[in-house]
Chains A and B, each alone.
Chain A
Amino acid sequence: MRQAVAVAVTKHRLDSAVLQKLPTDSPVVASLGAAIASLPTYQKAFADAPPAFTEVGLRYSHYTEDSLDKDLLVFGDRDRYDIDVTQLWIEAPVGGAWSVAFDVQNDSMSGASPWFVGTNLDGEPGVIMSGASIQDNRVEVGVTTRYFWADGNAGFNVTHSDEDDYEALAFSFDAAWNSDDNSRTWSASASTSDDSVAPVKEAIPVFIDQEELDTQSLYFGVSQVLTSTSIVRVGLSYTISDGYLTDPYKLADQRPSEHERVTLNTGYRQYFVEAGGALKMDYRFYNDDWGTDSHTLEVAWQQSLGRHSLTPYLRYYSQSQADFFSVIADTSTDFYADDYRLSSYGAITAGLRGTVMIGDWEVEGQLERYDSDNSFSLYGGDAAPGLVDFWRATVGVTLRFD
């Protein structure tokens, strides 16, 4: 008892910033909040507000593609891409109603990629690789300002990306607003990107000097609290690109100069109070005017372990091939491509993500394995020999302070 009295003079700041540092409202607190959200007393208290603290984060990710199978190689180096991604961000409140975020990302890639698909001595399709000489570095810088008011928030973002052979400048605007009882959130965004491609003429021959690409995108979505422990979300996006969409580093690639795509996103979250976990299910349908449909289904279980968490997840992806894809490109037609990314295939991703809170620091780690194969696909179509499998490992730290 004496010991307890001795600490009476110690001062500790336990304010809204401390509360906001908690991972999220637990289902218990969220459901209690929902029960009284309609009372005038709590309507302002539940309003959107800028973060009460500054967040600084650093994340590093290593991505490594498996070497190409010996039987599928006709010529070149079997080693494929390795990519190192480093990301640094800071987000801080400004005044009572604004926040500003700044992020920088550096991607450093090296390795070889399929140049074109030909046939081996047995007449089977095989890949001719570009040679292990590709080295590229991309730097992306983004700034977001966000304004918060009682029923929602709106943000404006500018991002510039620069690499040896590609430059892009993108602007986006997004807004979200909540219903009076806070059970429904509407969100919308619009973005535009102005890209320029100027391929580096080193390892492999390229046939253009500089080309342009414009992309516009719109999104509209809604999320709805169903019960005190479940929430559902649905969103629709439309994107149109106009300009140079061909891959200049592929020998046999000629794509249309316009690409329209529509995506339907849905998600469901169910919290299990006793288990201290949440089941997350997401489904995405994609359709484009190049003849490709795709389905993505992801299931994850987020287990809270006190202030820490562990999330295993499994993702299935399947797409149909583009109209102008063939295993060996038919260059007699207007449009053609042998790029495995346009073929019919399926992919399975399995991963594990963990977060550990140490004081004000959050440390995260993630490991993911991706395997793709033509036989995993829901759709018919010939197998492209260059399909990729990869590992990705991520570590990161985030610090939040007043």
Chain B
Amino acid sequence: MGGPATITIRHEADCGDEVHALLKTLEQDTTSLEAKYSRYRSQSLISRINAKAGDGEFVAIDAETLSLFNFCAVLHEQSDGLFDPTSGVLREVWDFHLGVVNDPSRLRQLLDRVGWDKVEIRGQQLRLTREGMALDLGGIVKEYAVDKSIATIREAGFFNAIVELAGDVMAIGDRGSDEPWQVGICDPTHPDQALMSVELSNAALATSGSYHRFITLDGQRFSHFLNPFSGMPIRDPRSVSVIANNCISAGAIATTACLHALEESEAWLNTAGLPWLMHDSGNLRGPIAEMIK
């Protein structure tokens, strides 16, 4: 899932075994979500869908997957098409791991393979209509895994816990003696330093940002978020944190904010109406930043 996972469950002294078993279940659940949705695993559902791209065949999907795709469809619509789970193929040109650009002349050709409108969902079946298309649920599965873990913990009868998966976090209840859970928001330029600390209870905080992965061209920094219409990376990398009732929505709003041009990013966050923090070229902005002034 692209980073370390930390799960803390506050419990009575006599249910240590139960918590141990629960942690095991949570680990298995998260691993199986990764096995199901990772585009890097050749046997994953996503890889099987991608492998059949353009051959006309539908692939059966389960109710969970259908809901996640419905979520993508809503986010695609609400973001005027900026959030697009098919835009990952553009990384064939923009290699953010190596920080290099491979043959930009291929962009036009790659853009033909991008577009949510080229994904056909019929009942509980799905197909990609163009050869070479690929779906990537990386933008939401990690956050969904956080929410799913919290739901499992609640179901097991524990109501004070915090789950963190590669920087996205959800906390329920408190950490004891009515003390709320503390969550640090990273300084994008010094990821090991907390920019500020917030108290969370029954709320999730998700951060999207391009501070780890970006490309510098002609001295200008570009983020790893790609515009699905132009195929170009977004200028002015920034990081955005959002607080919501659940992690998947917080992550969706934060990710989409990073897909907007800087000036439109704030408008999007205000429309969403959730508490947010934007870190851009050393400036902190947004309702969360206002609270510390």
Residues of A in contact with B (beta carbons under 8 Å apart): 1, 4-5, 7-19, 22-23, 25-26, 28-29, 31-36, 38-42, 44-45, 52, 228, 273, 276, 304, 306
Q: Is the CB of A12 within 8 A of B199?
A: yes
Q: A292 → chain B, closest Cβ, in Å?
A: 43
Tell me whether A19 and B194 are in contact in the complex, defined as CB-CB below 8 angstroms, given that A32-B71, A36-B67, A38-B67 are known contacts: no
Besides A10-B292, A15-B200, 19 new A-B residue pairs in contact (Cβ under 8 A), listed by A number: A1-B282, A5-B187, A8-B194, A8-B195, A11-B182, A11-B197, A11-B198, A12-B199, A14-B291, A29-B253, A29-B274, A31-B74, A32-B75, A33-B246, A35-B71, A39-B64, A41-B151, A45-B151, A52-B202
Q: A323 → chain B, closest Cβ, in Å?
A: 51
Q: B188 → chain A, closest Cβ, in Å?
A: 10
Residue B23 at the chain A interface, CB threshold 8 Å:
no
Q: A34 → chain B, closest Cβ, in Å?
A: 8
Tell me whether A31 and B151 are in contact in the complex, defined as CB-CB below 8 angstroms, given that A12-B199, A12-B291, A18-B203 are known contacts: no
For residue B282, which residue of chain A has the nearest CB? A1
Tell me whether A8 and B75 are in contact in the complex, defined as CB-CB below 8 angstroms, given that A16-B202, A19-B243, A41-B151 are known contacts: no
Q: Is the CB of B201 within 8 A of A15?
A: yes
A-B contact pairs, 15 of them (CB 8 A): A1-B282, A4-B284, A8-B195, A10-B292, A15-B180, A22-B273, A26-B272, A28-B253, A28-B271, A28-B272, A32-B74, A32-B249, A34-B74, A39-B63, A45-B246
Q: Is the CB of B249 within 8 A of A33?
A: yes
Q: Is the CB of B200 within 8 A of A36?
A: no
Q: Is the CB of B70 within 8 A of A36?
A: yes
Q: B292 → chain A, closest Cβ, in Å?
A: 5
Write out the residue numbers on chain A whose beta carbons fall within 8 Å of the beta carbon of B282.
1, 4
Q: Which B168-205 residues have a C-beta within 8 angstroms of A?
A: 180, 182, 184, 187, 189, 193-203, 205
For residue A39, which residue of chain B has the nearest CB? B67
Q: Which B244-270 residues have a C-beta within 8 angstroms of A?
A: 244-246, 248-249, 252-253, 270
Q: Is the CB of A14 within 8 A of B78?
A: no
For residue A9, which residue of chain B has the nearest CB? B197
Write out the residue numbers on chain B whose beta carbons fall within 8 Å of the beta carbon of A19.
203, 243-245, 274-275
Q: Is the CB of A32 within 8 A of B274?
A: no
Residue B147 at the chain A interface, CB threshold 8 Å:
yes
Write out the residue numbers on chain A whose beta carbons fall within 8 Å of the beta carbon of B151.
40-42, 44-45
Tell me whether A12 and B196 are in contact in the complex, defined as CB-CB below 8 angstroms, given that A19-B274, A44-B151, A44-B154 are known contacts: yes
Residues of B in contact with A (beta carbons under 8 Å apart): 63-64, 67-68, 70-71, 73-75, 78, 144, 147-148, 151, 154-155, 180, 182, 184, 187, 189, 193-203, 205, 243-246, 248-249, 252-253, 270-275, 279, 282, 284, 288, 291-292
**Which listed residue, B74, B75, B195, B197, touches A4 by the CB 8 Å rule?**
B195
**Which listed residue, A15, A29, A34, touches B202 by the CB 8 Å rule?**
A15
**Which listed residue, A8, A12, A52, touches B288 by the CB 8 Å rule?**
A12
Write out the residue numbers on chain B whose beta carbons fall within 8 Å of the beta carbon of A25.
273
For residue B155, which residue of chain A has the nearest CB? A44
> CA of A8 to CA of B195 in the docked complex: distance in angstroms?
5
For residue B69, which residue of chain A has the nearest CB? A35
Write out the residue numbers on chain B whose beta carbons fall within 8 Å of the beta carbon of A52.
202
Q: Is the CB of B200 within 8 A of A14?
A: yes
> CA of A273 to CA of B205 in the docked complex: distance in angstroms?
24
Write out the residue numbers on chain A whose beta carbons fall within 8 Å of the beta carbon of B291.
12, 14
> CA of A304 to CA of B197 in the docked complex: distance in angstroms?
30
For residue A26, which residue of chain B has the nearest CB? B273
Q: A180 → chain B, closest Cβ, in Å?
A: 13
**Which listed residue, B64, B273, B292, touches A12 by the CB 8 Å rule?**
B292
Q: Is the CB of A16 within 8 A of B78?
A: no
Q: Is the CB of A38 within 8 A of B63?
A: yes
> CA of A304 to CA of B267 in the docked complex: distance in angstroms?
13
**Which listed residue, B71, B182, B184, B253, touches A36 by the CB 8 Å rule?**
B71
Tell me whether A273 and B246 are in contact in the complex, defined as CB-CB below 8 angstroms, given that A12-B292, A26-B271, A29-B253 are known contacts: no
Q: Is the CB of A14 within 8 A of B271?
A: no
Q: A40 → chain B, closest Cβ, in Å?
A: 7
Q: A397 → chain B, closest Cβ, in Å?
A: 21
Q: Is the CB of B203 within 8 A of A8?
A: no
> CA of A41 to CA of B154 in the docked complex: distance in angstroms?
10
> CA of A35 to CA of B270 in the docked complex: distance in angstroms?
21
> CA of A29 to CA of B75 in the docked complex: distance in angstroms?
10
> CA of A324 to CA of B184 in the docked complex: distance in angstroms?
73
Q: B102 → chain A, closest Cβ, in Å?
A: 33
**Which listed residue, A18, A44, A273, touches B271 by the CB 8 Å rule?**
A273
The 9 closest A-B pairs by CB, nearest first: A26-B273, A16-B202, A15-B201, A13-B199, A41-B151, A35-B71, A35-B74, A35-B70, A14-B198
Tell me whether A273 and B78 are in contact in the complex, defined as CB-CB below 8 angstroms, given that A15-B199, A16-B202, A44-B151 are known contacts: yes
Q: Is the CB of A41 within 8 A of B78?
A: no
For residue B170, which residue of chain A has the nearest CB? A45
Write out the residue numbers on chain A whose beta carbons fall within 8 Å of the beta carbon of B243.
14, 18-19
> CA of A276 to CA of B201 in the docked complex: distance in angstroms?
29
> CA of A17 to CA of B70 in the docked complex: distance in angstroms?
28
Write out the residue numbers on chain B whose beta carbons fall within 8 Å of the beta carbon of A36.
67-68, 70-71, 248
Q: A96 → chain B, closest Cβ, in Å?
A: 9
For residue B202, which residue of chain A has the nearest CB? A16
> CA of A75 to CA of B166 in the docked complex: distance in angstroms?
82
Write out the residue numbers on chain B whose beta carbons fall within 8 Å of the beta carbon of A18.
203, 243, 275
